[in-house]
Amino acid sequence: MRKWLSLRHWRQTFARVFILLRSNKVSLPDKLLFLIPVLLYWVLPDVLVPIPFFPLDDIGITLLLAQWFARRMETKYNIK
C-alpha cells in the first residue's frame, strides 16, 4: 500500500509510460489500447462507468491504467 501512495512510484510509472509510448518497439494498436480508454474516460466519465453514482476520479483511473499499461508492455516487448 505504501508503494501505491508514493509520488516517486507514480513519477517513475509515468516516465515508463512516456518511454513506451515513444518507443518504436511498441506497436500502434498497443499504444492505442492505453490512449483511447484514458482519453475517453477524461471526456466521457459518466458514460463509461458501468455503476451509476459510483464516483471514480479521472486521475485515479489514469494512474491505474498507466500502471497496467507499463507492466504489460514491458513484459510483452521485454523492455526495461
pLDDT digits (tens, 9 = 90+) for 14-34: 999 999 999 999 999 999 999
Collect the ranges in the chain with pLDDT lower than 50.
Answer: none
pLDDT at 68: 95
Q: Specify if 1 maps to a domain.
A: no
Q: Specify if 2 maps to a domain.
A: no
Number of domains in the chain: 1
pLDDT at 45: 72
- Domain extent, residue 22, equals 7-76
pLDDT at 80: 77
Helix (H), strand (E), coil (C) string for 1-68 = CCCCCCHHHHHHHHHHHHHHHHCCCCCHHHHHHHHHHHHHHHHCHHHHCCCCCCCCCHHHHHHHHHHH
pLDDT at 15: 95
